[in-house]
Amino acid sequence: MTLARRDYRTVVVGGGVVGLYTAHHLVRAGAGPVLVVDRGRLSAGGSGRNGGGIRQQWETRATIRLAREAVAAYRGFASEFGHNVWFRQGGYLFLADGAAEMARLERVRNVARAEGLDVRLLGVPEVERLVDGIAPGACLGGSYLATDGTLYPYPVLWGLLEALRRAGTEVAYGVEVTGVARDDRGRLAGVLTSEGRVATGALVNAAGGWSGELSRRCGLDVPNVATRHEILATEPMKPFVDPMVVRASDGLYFSQSMRGELVGGLTVPHPPGVDGGVPSSARFLTSMARALLTLLPRLAGLRVLRAWAGFYDDTPDGLPLLGEDPRLAGFVHANGLGGHGFMLAPSASRRAAQAVLGEPVDPEAREFSPGRFLAPGGASRVEGLQLG
């Protein structure tokens, strides 16, 4: 592939939902030309490997505000981009199977309510009305927000990509970034790619599970860790559950698609890093089957049609890295979103674009500052609800 030019105002690395959304915000602000590069293909990374969950129940107010803004964006996506993403607001139901988890969900409810969200704590009878067939004694209750839900990821990518190309923005798949060039003041001056050097004053690292590797290639030590997570889909069955269901104790999650498939996952340990690729494992399949049957015995005999894996992009405090890196002027992070890049993409990318443009950010966005891990004592808050 030959790039159309050799100088751009901004180079966005990562052609998934966060990168495409960041480029969209920049182009809409008139801040071109923008180049988006990705060493893979459209939807090859986490954007094409997720369960489509969109929720606003979190432990920190800053993350809730990101999520609330993202829900509003996805509700209006079809009108803005002309693609129906099948955003179905059937709610999110977090289940507690012990007193400690129930107390945790109560704290989440209190934080969410302070942000204006009508999160409700449910007893067992209310949970059973939302999910038919839960095993006796399998839960003590849960928390529920009706405006959470699920969407179909691929039309989001198609809509963003088409909008960028209509605007004349160059999106180049199969182009790898190998490093950066600096000027004599130590600022970003260019990006080194498999297609040669590209002059630019701004690079946005939106590489998802590969973002830590990219930052380190560019001389920046970051705390991001890529961790492999697995997911599966079953054969269709008669609809019996509307919300996305997440068990707070172990992260088991599942929803039912409009075709009747159960789509869900469960965390099983894997070595950190991207070197092992994203194969699916027999251990995941057996662990997922046991977890589902413990909760829903009615699923005995249900067949799995396919299973796959992808990378979370985790940080030590569970909060993203959004903004300019204090060690390299012009290098902007839009990463560290755990397994929730798709969920938070519209709002996280807006803050990354603000950093590129030099615009002031919302006060709570300072909690996402890439410099927080460089300060004595490190991060001050922790977002622990990195589930589902």
Q: Residues 78-106: pLDDT tens digits?
A: 999 999 999 999 999 999 999 999 999 99
Mean pLDDT of 365-373: 90
Please give the C-alpha separations between residue 69 and each of 76, 285, 348, 357, in angstroms, as whole numbers: 11, 35, 9, 20
Residues with Cβ within 8 Å of residue 94, at least 6 apart in sequence: 57, 105, 108, 142, 143, 144, 246, 247, 248, 387, 388
Secondary element (H or E) of residue 132: none
β-pair type (92-96, 188-193):
unpaired
Place of tokens 């068990």: 247
Q: Which one, of 322, 317, 314, lies nearest residue 224 by Cα?
A: 314
All structural domains of the chain? 7-49+154-224+317-373 (3.50.50.60), 92-145+225-312 (3.30.9.10)
Give the C-alpha separation, 267 to 250, whole Å.
7
Give the C-alpha separation, 62 to 46, whole Å.
23
Structure tokens at 217: 């290639």
Q: Is the pLDDT of residue 378 over 80?
A: no
Place of tokens 């569970």: 318
Mean pLDDT of 210-216: 98
Structure tokens at 60: 């920190």
Structure tokens at 363: 């006060």
Structure tokens at 174: 């199969």
Give the C-alpha separation, 2 to 4, whole Å.
6
Structure tokens at 93: 């139901």
* pTM (predicted TM-score): 0.96
**What's the pLDDT tens digit per position in 299-345?**
999 999 999 999 999 999 999 999 999 999 999 999 999 999 999 99
